[in-house]
Structure 1
Amino acid sequence: MSVGAMGVFDRRLLLAVDARGYGSADTARQREIQTVLPRLLSEAAEAAGLDRASWVRQLAGDSEFAVLPAGSDEQALVEPFMRRLDAGLRAHNRDRVPGARLALRAAVHFGPASEAPSGFVGPGPVEVSRILESDPLRRALAGAPDAALAVALTAPVFTELVAQGYTNFRPEEFREVVVEKKEYRGRAWLWVPGYDVHALDLGAVESGSGTDSGSGSGAGSGSGSGSGSAAGSAAGTPETAAPAAPAAGGGDSATTNLYGTVINGNVVFGISK
């Protein structure tokens, strides 16, 4: 097999999670988050039939970046894992006052990621990290006071799994948004369990509907098959237009992929320096 200067090209399933309010929490609360978060992720993985021991993980106190092995079950991570994680968070929060409840943001991507001396490099880790830290995802969780989880899927994951019917999600359960974070610009599809994500106030967030939708699609995975795989919103702003169910196929808009070092606080997050 011919190998270029960058080594073996590989696409991986990537997961990034982060706990809300960790920086403002006291020492006891931070310790609790560091203890509870790995347990809830492990329980969700086990329930979804995923071998978490095989994941390459980078921990940062209130967050985790994980690269799953080649061939991992994307459907299992997108649906049963997330549903079980939400259930675990709600069980943990049941008898707690609002200020002591644990809430997570999570992002899932399938894209290029190659091993390097200090982690993984490539556009995949950059994209999932930028989306995890994006304003739309943060606002979605903040705007849903009783929610324990807010999930963002990147274009390849949404258009090729959810929009094609490979999960039990309805595409209209997701809301397509434009993500602009530092030098990154792309699209993501948001889901907040227990909430109509289209009704949440995300501030001045541009949806993917209308301008770049081609034949009714959102930011697809580049397959050019003309799907309606946007979060199903009709032309107009997401606050004023009702979502329409996507048609079959992938989208035809492009997402910018970037290489670099992603830093979350004082921690290098998922990408080698």
Structure 2
Amino acid sequence: MGTFGRRLLLAVDAKGYGGADAVTQRQLQEAIRRLLSEAAAASGLEWERWETQVGGDSVFAVLPEGASEPDLVDTFMRHLDAGLRAFNHGRVRAAWLRLRAVVHFGSASPGAIGFVGRAPVEVGRMLDSAALKAALAAAPDACLALAVSPTVFNDVISDAYTTIRAQEFREVVVAEKEHTGRAWIRVPGYDARALDLGVPSGAGREGATGGGEVPDVRPPSAPTAPGDTVVQVINGTVHAPGSVFGISK
């Protein structure tokens, strides 16, 4: 049956990594690891206890039991954004390090070659979602675009356990094959609700692909962030980064 456990999960992926030369890719890889470890240390999140898998420009991490969700969403992300800006200062745009990041809390337990469970899959859906990619693309001076799961938004942000206001997030729907879920996106330095994510203004829950109604998967009592709801319907295979299926310390 395996061991059941709920863990705090983080995934990051770099924009434009594949188009960089080998020297730049090496610099970006080194910077990702350094900035994550520095942000963790500044937030009291014990980087040395993280279980991580690195896949070129992506990192999937399972944090230790008891890791603070508010610290990861708030303090960690502020330090990560500041570190990215410092790294990018003076670099040509083509060599900037810009990250998409996802935070989730859910079921994940060790399997034969990595963590298994619903939560790692959901992390991959959000990380690869069109909405999160579009948010970073629509904010050219941003170094970071963050998506959090409904669990994290409702329990941590909406309940005001962070210094980040709920109004700074934009609710989106990510639908792919059997998976339909929601995420809340924040782009430091930008009004996420004003960004062009490729969906007509006021579209609500109507899909960007022709007005198909996307089922409302949120329980009636669940809180929502103020502002527009944006629907992203993704066709084709959306998968978690390879790091989801294997870990190393």
Q: Smaller-chain TM-score range? A: 0.7 to 0.9
Which stretches of structure 1, 4 residues or more, deviate above 3 A after TM superposition? 205-213, 261-264
Q: Could you tell me which of 2, 5, 8 is aligned with 1:7?
A: 2
Classify 1:27/1:98 alpha carbon distance in 2 versus 1 (closer, same or farther; 3 Å): same
Contact in 1 for aligned 2:14/2:57 (Cα 8 Å): yes
Higher relative contact order (CA 8 A, sep 6+): 2
AA of the residue aligned to 2:132: L
Give the superposition deviation at 1:16: 0.3
1:124 is the counterpart of 2:98? no
Report the 3-state secondary structure (helix = DSSP H, G, I; strand = E; otherwise coil) of the residue aligned with 1:87.
helix
| Structure 2 counterparts to residues 239-254 of structure 1, below 5 A | none
Q: Could you tell me which of 102, 107, 124 is aligned with 2:102?
A: 107
Report the 3-state secondary structure (helix = DSSP H, G, I; strand = E; otherwise coil) of the residue aligned with 2:19.
coil
| Structure 2 counterparts to residues 127-206 of structure 1, below 5 A | 127-204=122-199
Q: Could you tell me which of 55, 59, 63 is aligned with 2:58?
A: 63
Q: So what's the TM-score if we normalise by structure 2?
A: 0.86
1:231 is the counterpart of 2:225? yes
Report the 3-state secondary structure (helix = DSSP H, G, I; strand = E; otherwise coil) of the residue aligned with 1:147.
coil
Report the 3-state secondary structure (helix = DSSP H, G, I; strand = E; otherwise coil) of the residue aligned with 1:105.
strand
Q: C-alpha distance in 2, partners of 1:180/1:26?
A: 34
Q: C-alpha distance in 2, partners of 1:233/1:175?
A: 7
Q: Alpha-carbon deviations, 1:22-62, whole Å to 9, x = none?
A: 11111111111111100000111011111011011010010
Contact in 2 for aligned 1:110/1:157 (Cα 8 Å): yes
Q: C-alpha distance in 1, partners of 2:205/2:51?
A: 33
Report the 3-state secondary structure (helix = DSSP H, G, I; strand = E; otherwise coil) of the residue aligned with 1:270.
helix
Q: C-alpha distance in 2, partners of 1:10/1:33?
A: 33
1:271 is the counterpart of 2:245? yes
Higher helix share: 2
Q: Alpha-carbon deviations, 1:120-157, whole Å to 9, x = none?
A: 00000000111000000000000000000000000000
Give the superposition deviation at 1:8: 2.1
Contact in 2 for aligned 1:113/1:122 (Cα 8 Å): yes
Contact in 2 for aligned 1:57/1:66 (Cα 8 Å): yes
Corresponding residue for residue 233 of structure 2: none
Q: C-alpha distance in 1, partners of 2:178/2:214?
A: 21
Give the superposition deviation at 1:81: 0.2
Q: C-alpha distance in 2, partners of 1:24/1:51?
A: 33
Q: C-alpha distance in 2, partners of 1:173/1:84?
A: 17
Corresponding residue for residue 16 of structure 1: 11
Give the superposition deviation at 1:263: 5.2
Report the 3-state secondary structure (helix = DSSP H, G, I; strand = E; otherwise coil) of the residue aligned with 1:204.
coil
1:82 is the counterpart of 2:66? no
Classify 1:50/1:7 alpha carbon distance in 2 versus 1 (closer, same or farther; 3 Å): same
Q: Alpha carbon RMSD of aligned pairs, Å?
A: 2.4
Classify 1:203/1:56 alpha carbon distance in 2 versus 1 (closer, same or farther; 3 Å): same
Contact in 2 for aligned 1:179/1:187 (Cα 8 Å): yes
Q: Alpha-carbon deviations, 1:190-246, whole Å to 9, x = none?
A: 000000001100013865699877xxxx94xx6x6x25x322126xx66xxxxxxxx
Q: C-alpha distance in 2, partners of 1:183/1:121?
A: 17
Q: C-alpha distance in 1, partners of 2:94/2:71?
A: 31
Same amino acid, percent of matched pairs? 52
Classify 1:90/1:108 alpha carbon distance in 2 versus 1 (closer, same or farther; 3 Å): same
Instruction: Point out the more displaced range, 112-121 or 92-101.
Output: 92-101
Give the superposition deviation at 1:99: 1.2
Classify 1:90/1:163 alpha carbon distance in 2 versus 1 (closer, same or farther; 3 Å): same
AA of the residue aligned to 1:122: G
Contact in 2 for aligned 1:208/1:230 (Cα 8 Å): no
